[in-house]
Amino acid sequence: MSDFEHDPVMVDEISDIFDSVPAGTVVDATLGGGGHSYALLSRRADIDILGIDQDADAIEAALERLTEFADRVRVSRRRFDQIDEALAEHGVTEISGALFDLGVSSPQLDRAERGFSYRQDGPIDMRMDDDQQWSGSDVVNGYARNDLARVIKTHGDERFAGRIADAIVAARPVESTVDLAEIVTGAIPAAARRTGGHPAKRTFQAIRIEVNAELEVLPDALDSAVAATVPGGRIAVLSYHSGEDRIAKQRFAIAAGACDCPHDLPCVCGAIQTVRIVRGVAKRASAAEQERNRRSSSALLRVVEKTEPIPKAES
C-alpha cells in the first residue's frame, strides 16, 4: 500500500451533496489519495469517476485505493484547469458534477523532500507537479524584494510581508525549508509570534500558491466545470484560503446570474443564470472532525447545482 494516506475533509457531507446528481461521470478535479472518490463510488453504483491530479504519487495511491472500482475509474495527470482536455482525453462530453478539494494534502506536507513543510528540513520545492521546472526556491531566491513582499501579502494575508521579504533577501541564498522558516520567524515581532500558529505558516502558504499558480487557474477551472455539468449536477468546492473561497464565491455568483442592474428594473446586461446556490449544506466541518483532522478546521464548502439556462430578466 502506498504511503500517500490522506483523510478526506467533510467526506460525509460531500457524499450527501452528490447523492442527488444524475447518473454519469463525476470529475474529482483534485484526486489526491482518492478518499472522496472512494466514498462516492461506494455510495453510487451508477456513477464513474474521472480523477484529475498533477501529482504522480497521488495518482498512484488513488488507483491503488480504488482498485475495487477499477472499471469505474479513469485518471488524467493534469492541472485542474485542464478539465476540458481531460474530458476530451477520455471521450467524455458532459458530466454529472465536479469536486474541487483545494490546497495541499497531508502526505505532501509530511514528506520533507517535497518542501511544503516549515516543520521538516528539505529543499524549498513546493511543486505539486514535480515535472514542473519552477519551484519555491525560484520565488524565494529569485524574486525582487517588492515582488516577494507582494506574494507574501496577497497570497498569505501576512501583515509583516515587507519585513519578511527584507529578511529573506538579506539572507540569500536560502537553501532549506528550516532555514526559511527561521528567517521568517525572526522577521516577525515577538508579540505577534505568540498567537496564530507557526509564524512561517502564511509565508509558506503564499510561496506554494505562487509556485503552483493556484489562484490564477481556479476561475477557468470552475467555469469549465460549470459548463460541462448537466442540469441537476453539482459542483462543490472545499477551500482553505480566503483567496480560494473568494474566487469560488465570485465565479458561482456569476453563474447564478449576478448582474449590476437595479433590482427593481429589468436586467439589460444579458446575465444568464446557469446554476443555483445550494442552501442548507454544512459550510464547515463538524467540531468532531476538526478535532480529529486539523486540516478540516480551515475548510469552507460551497456548492452549486446546474440549471437550465435562465435569462436574469425571467428569474
In the three-class reduction of DSSP (H, G, I as helix; E, B as strand; rest coil), residue 72 is classed as helix
Reply yes or no on whether the pLDDT at 107 is more than 70: no
| The predicted structure's pLDDT at residue 194 | 84
Q: Average pLDDT, stretch 117-124?
A: 92
Query: Considering only CA atoms, which of 245, 258, 251 is closest in space to residue 222?
Result: 251
What is the number of other CB atoms lying within 10 angstroms of the CB of residue 90?
Answer: 12
Domain with CATH 3.40.50.150 in the chain: 11-101+215-314
| The predicted structure's pLDDT at residue 113 | 85
Reply yes or no on whether the pLDDT at 4 is more than 70: no
What is the number of other CB atoms lying within 10 angstroms of the CB of residue 243?
Answer: 18
| The predicted structure's pLDDT at residue 252 | 97
Q: Average pLDDT, stretch 149-159?
A: 96
Residue carrying the nine cell digits 449544506: 281
Reply yes or no on whether the pLDDT at 149 is more than 70: yes
How far is the CA of 271 from the CAs of 102, 119, 254, in angstroms? 28, 48, 8
The string of pLDDT tens digits covering residues 208-233 is: 999 999 999 999 999 999 999 999 99
The string of pLDDT tens digits covering residues 183-196 is: 999 999 999 998 87
Domain with CATH 1.10.150.170 in the chain: 112-212
Average pLDDT, the chain: 92
The string of pLDDT tens digits covering residues 237-266 is: 999 989 999 999 999 999 998 766 666 666
Q: What is the CATH number of domain 112-212?
A: 1.10.150.170
Q: Average pLDDT, stretch 105-131?
A: 85
Whole-number CA gyration radius for the chain: 21
Quote the pTM value. 0.89
| The predicted structure's pLDDT at residue 251 | 96
| The predicted structure's pLDDT at residue 103 | 78
| The predicted structure's pLDDT at residue 1 | 41
Q: Average pLDDT, stretch 79-105?
A: 94
Reply yes or no on whether the pLDDT at 313 is more than 80: no
Reply yes or no on whether the pLDDT at 3 is more than 60: no
The string of pLDDT tens digits covering residues 76-87 is: 999 999 999 999
Reply yes or no on whether the pLDDT at 123 is more than 80: yes
Identify any residues that bridge with 300 across adjacent strands, giving them in sequence order.
Answer: 239
| The predicted structure's pLDDT at residue 266 | 67
| CATH architecture label of 11-101+215-314 | 3-Layer(aba) Sandwich (3.40)
| The predicted structure's pLDDT at residue 264 | 67
Reply yes or no on whether the pLDDT at 176 is more than 80: yes
Cα distance between residue 289 and residue 291, in whole Å: 5
Stretch among 25-29, 47-51, 125-129, 145-149 having the lowest mean pLDDT: 125-129
Identify any residues that bridge with 270 across adjacent strands, giving them in sequence order.
Answer: none
What is the number of other CB atoms lying within 10 angstroms of the CB of residue 297?
Answer: 14
| The predicted structure's pLDDT at residue 267 | 67
| More confident call, 57 vs 167 | 167
Burial tier of 249 (Cβ tally within 10 Å: 0-12, 13-18, 19+): middle
